[in-house]
Amino acid sequence: MSFFDDDENDPLSPPNRPNYGVRPSSSREGSVSGSSSFLDRLRSTVSPPPAHQYSENENDRSRASASIFDEGSTSGRIGASSNLDDDDDDDHGMGSVFGNEEEEEDEEDMNDVKKLGRALMRERGIPDLGGWKGELIDGVFDKLEQQQKMVNTLRSDPQTSEEEHFKLMLVQTEMERVKYLVRSYVRTRLHKIERFAHHITLTPEMHHLLSGAELSHARRYTDLLHTHFQHSALDSLPEWLRKMDDTYGDGLSMVSKPNRNTPVLIYCRKDCGEITLEGGERAALARGTTHLVKYRLVDRWINLGWAEVL
C-alpha cells in the first residue's frame, strides 16, 4: 500500500532527468541543482518526503522529472540522445521538456506510471473484472524498451562519468519498479480471469473487457480445468452428473460469477451525486469523502474514474 502512496505523492524518478539533460561540461548551474535534487532523492529512498518539500525551490525541476514515462520525456530523451553527440543541445532538450511537462500538469493529466498505479489499485479493489488497459500497457512497454536502449547506450559509452553510472543505476531501479507494477496488474487480472473463466467464456458481454490473449487464456483454462475434473472424478459418476454448468436446488450455479455485492472502500474524487442504499436510505457521495458501499451501487463512478477504490 505504502508503495502506491509513494507513487501518488512522490514522483518516482526525479533523478532521471538530470541524468540525461545535464552534462557537467555544459551547464554548471543545472548540474548543481540536479545533484541536490538527487541527494533529496537518495534520502527519500530511506523515508520518502512529501512532494511539496522539494516543490519549493525546485518546482520546475521536480516537475520536469516527474516521470520518465510521460509524453514530455520522450522529447526529453530525444534531446538526451543527441547529447551524446553534441553537448550544446542540452538546453533545447531541457526546454522542450519543461514546456510539455507544465502543460500536462495544467491539464491534470496523469503520466503513464501514475495511470498504471491507479489501474492496479482499481483492479485489486473491485470484485469484477475491469477493462484491459491495452494502450497504457503498450505505451509503458514501448517506453521501457526505449529506456533500456538508452541505458545500454549510456552504459557502454566510455564518456559516462562515475556519477552518471550511479544515476543510471537509479534509472534501472525505476524501471524494475515499473515492471513490478505491470506484473502485478497483469497477474491480478489473470487471477480473476481464472477464477471466473467459465463465466467469462459463457458471457459474450464480458469479452470486450479482456485482451485477446486473456480471452484465449480464459477459454483454454476453462477447457483444461474441465478436462481435469472429468478425468479425475466426473467420468466415474453416472452420466447425468457429468455436466459442469448445473444449477443446484438452492439456485447456486456451478459457474461462479463475480460477486458484485462485495463492499468496496471508495474515495470520491468528484461529486458523484446520491445513491440509494438497500433500505431505501439515500447517501450523498460528496467530493473528497470516503465510503464503504456495495460495489454494485457505485461501479459506474468507479468506471468513470470519479471514485477511486482504496
Partner 1 sequence: MYGDLALQLVTSSHRSTLSTTPQLPLPKYALPLILSICLETRQLGQSITSAAEQHGQVSLSQDRSLVCNLTVQHLSARRNKRCLLAYLQTRVGGIKERWWDSGGSLAYLLSPSSSSSSTTGGDTSGMGSNSESEGTGDLRNNLSPQEIDFLRGYNNLMLDYKSDFLDVLDLTSSIDRPPSELMVDVRVLRDAGEVILESGERLDFRKGERFRLNRSGVERLIVQGYLEEV
Interacting residues with partner 1 (CB under 8 A):
3, 45, 141, 144-145, 169, 172-173, 176-177, 179-180, 182-184, 186-187, 190, 194, 213-214, 217, 220-221, 224-225, 227-229, 231-234, 236-238, 240-241, 246, 248-249, 254
Please, what is the minimum distance in Å from the beta carbon of residue 84 to partner 1?
22
Please, what is the minimum distance in Å from the beta carbon of residue 295 to partner 1?
23
Gyration radius of the chain over CA positions: 25
Q: Give whichever of 179 and 287 is closer to partner 1, judged by the CB atom.
A: 179
Is 128:295 a contact under the CB 8 Å cutoff?
Answer: yes
Helix (H, G, I), strand (E, B) or coil at 254: coil
Residues in Cβ contact with 242 at an 8 Å cutoff, skipping those fewer than 6 apart: 230, 234, 235
Q: Give whichever of 187 and 260 is closer to partner 1, judged by the CB atom.
A: 187
Q: Give whichever of 41 and 217 is closer to partner 1, judged by the CB atom.
A: 217
Q: Give whichever of 223 and 274 is closer to partner 1, judged by the CB atom.
A: 223
Q: Give whichever of 57 and 216 is closer to partner 1, judged by the CB atom.
A: 216
Which residues are 283's β-sheet partners?
A: 275
All 3 cell numbers of residue 55?
516543490
Please, what is the minimum distance in Å from the beta carbon of residue 22 to partner 1?
22
Q: 288 — phi, psi (to 5°)?
A: 85, 10
Please, what is the minimum distance in Å from the beta carbon of residue 115 to partner 1?
17
Which residues are 266's β-sheet partners?
A: 291, 309
CB count within 10 Å of CB 291 equals 20
Whole-angstrom distance, CA of residue 235 vs CA of residue 226? 11
Q: Give whichever of 231 and 287 is closer to partner 1, judged by the CB atom.
A: 231
Q: How many residues does the chain have?
A: 310
Please, what is the minimum distance in Å from the beta carbon of residue 229 to partner 1?
6
Please, what is the minimum distance in Å from the beta carbon of residue 154 to partner 1?
15
All 3 cell numbers of residue 106?
495544467
